[in-house]
Amino acid sequence: MRPRYESARDLANERRVAERLKAQRNLDVQKMPISYRLDYALMRDDKIVGFAEIKSRRNEMARYPTLMISLGKVIAARQLTAATKLPCYLIAEFTDCIAVVNFREQHELGIGGRIDRNDAADVEPCAYYPIARFAIL
């Protein structure tokens, strides 16, 4: 079994963004079990209206031309959309804003990941979503 690298700080960042979504978009948010691969169910009037993966980055939105995410997350999001007919969003908190893109958007593929943890499974196929496709919330 692989180690989980999600820290208490990561979870707090994720929750802070979820609370902003709740306030700004009139949504309820429900943390989902890890087996769903995405972080939150987005709800309105007790009905699920979509799903979200939340990432917190330590750079300004315009710093890099793309945002990299595991291709496994993209596959899980698209499977969830296929099964439910509901949208799945990648929500990124940057140092200067929060932005969103639908997982169905076009992206480039490549190999990426972290090498600082000496975990070979951290380097994997990744999707690179163009920053230009993100909408600022």
Residue 60 lies in a domain: yes
Q: Which ranges in 6-136 belong to alpha helices (H)?
A: 8-25, 71-84
Residue 68 lies in a domain: yes
- Mean per-residue pLDDT, 94-100: 97
Q: What band does 4 get if pLDDT is binned at 50, 70 and 90?
A: low
Question: Is the pTM above the cut of 0.85?
Answer: yes
Residue 2 lies in a domain: no
> Which CATH number characterizes residue 51's domain?
3.40.1350.10
What is the domain count for the chain? 1
> How many whole angstroms separate alpha carbon 32 and alpha carbon 37?
8
Q: Domain of residue 87: give its range.
A: 8-136
Considering only residues 10 and 99, tell me which one the structure prediction assigns the higher pLDDT: 99
Residue 92 lies in a domain: yes
Whether residue 94 is predicted with pLDDT greater than 70 in this model: the reply is: yes
Residue 122 lies in a domain: yes
Residue 1 lies in a domain: no
- Mean per-residue pLDDT, 73-91: 98
Residue 52 lies in a domain: yes
The answer for residues whose C-beta is within 8 angstroms of residue 105's C-beta and 6 or more apart is: 129, 133
